[in-house]
């Protein structure tokens, strides 16, 4: 039997997948990727992302405003995000976060948006989905400050920041998600960060259509390739692939408990 996996972060609404989602979901299932979370990065696109989840039983979704888009979009409100969570397949808040690599000029509005999303995650009990790039110090500070205001759960998606932010996140009880970056030959530092993490706090993802793992690097990524990343993850943790797949699936179910308890209408 093929071990079950979950792609905890992909973007099925992107034009790269137009007209192909049935085939993409089928290819994923064939290699054991039985569920996936497609991420809405601009709230105006939430109806499109929701419709994908409604039309495909293995697909769940999350919604938020991506930090690289936040200067171009209306600032989300906590109430607006909470209303969206009433949908049975809406299982996470985000992705949100900080990105100073390309969009440092919008740092303040990114911080404001991040705190709105944290508040919504705290109030709903759904996990926060964080994007962090070139902003480790501010990210660690805000996550810790907000955690003191009230606990919330969180995954640091596509983790490739430094070891200090990883430790700060893990110390708060958060999760790290391993993407195709961990399979790249020149990504030993990323693999080392995961090696130091508790395996019960690790997820796997594609971030499709981006960051395809080896041997597909440079090509369009898709949820089926979660299996390639998970095979490298098993090597990193010195585990059998079957056991690593089972562990990361259990981790997903613990963090994304709404997805784990979802019952399709009969």
Q: What is the pLDDT along the chain (266 residues), one digit of tens a residue?
A: 799 999 999 999 999 999 999 999 999 999 999 999 999 999 999 999 999 999 999 999 999 999 999 999 999 999 999 999 999 999 999 999 999 999 999 999 999 999 999 999 999 999 999 999 999 999 999 999 999 999 999 999 999 999 999 999 999 999 999 999 999 999 999 999 999 999 999 999 999 999 999 999 999 999 999 999 999 999 999 999 999 999 999 999 999 999 999 998 87
Q: Where are the alpha helices (DSSP H) in 10-96?
A: 21-30, 46-55, 78-84
- Rounded to 5, what percent of the chain is helix, strand, coil? 50, 15, 35
Buried b (16+ CB within 10 A) or exposed e, 26-41: eebbebbbbbbbbbbb
Distances (CA, A) of 194 to 111, 188, 199, 232: 26, 10, 8, 11
Domains and CATH numbers, the chain: 5-260 (3.20.20.140)
**Which of the 8 DSSP states describes residue 14?**
S
Q: d(Cα 23, Cα 9) in Å, to the nearest integer?
A: 18
In terms of phi and psi (left: phi > 0; alpha: psi -120 to 50; beta: otherwise), the region of 46 is: alpha
Question: Would you state the structure tokens that stand for residue 200, as one six-digit string?
Answer: 């019960």
pTM score, whole prediction: 0.97
156 bridge partner residues: 130, 176
Q: d(Cα 109, Cα 241) in Å, to the nearest integer?
A: 42
Count of helix runs (H) and strand runs (E) in the chain: 10, 8
């Amino acid at each position: 039997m093929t071990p079950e996996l979950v792609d905890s972060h992909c973007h099925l609404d992107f034009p790269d997948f137009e007209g192909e989602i049935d085939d993409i979901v089928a290819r994923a299932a064939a290699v054991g990727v039985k569920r996936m979370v497609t991420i809405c990065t601009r709230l105006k696109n939430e109806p499109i992302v929701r419709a994908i989840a409604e039309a495909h039983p293995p697909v769940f979704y999350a919604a938020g405003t991506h930090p690289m888009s936040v200067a171009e979009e209306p600032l989300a409100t906590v109430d607006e995000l909470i209303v969206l969570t009433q949908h049975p397949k809406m299982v996470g808040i985000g992705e949100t976060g900080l990105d100073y690599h390309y969009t440092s000029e919008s740092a303040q509005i990114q911080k404001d948006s991040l705190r709105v999303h944290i508040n919504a995650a705290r109030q709903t009990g759904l996990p926060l989905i964080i994007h962090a790039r070139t902003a480790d110090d501010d990210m660690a500070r805000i996550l810790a400050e907000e955690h003191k205001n009230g606990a919330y759960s969180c995954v640091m998606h596509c983790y490739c920041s430094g070891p200090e932010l990883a430790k700060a996140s893990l110390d708060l009880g958060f999760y790290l998600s391993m993407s195709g970056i961990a399979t790249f030959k020149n990504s030993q530092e990323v693999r080392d960060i995961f090696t130091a993490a508790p395996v019960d706090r690790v997820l796997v993802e594609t971030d499709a259509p981006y960051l395809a793992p080896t041997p597909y690097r440079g090509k369009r990524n898709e949820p089926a390739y979660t299996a390639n990343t998970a095979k490298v993850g098993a090597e990193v943790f010195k585990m059998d692939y079957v056991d690593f797949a089972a562990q990361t699936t259990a981790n997903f179910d613990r963090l994304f408990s709404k997805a784990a308890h979802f019952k399709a209408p009969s």
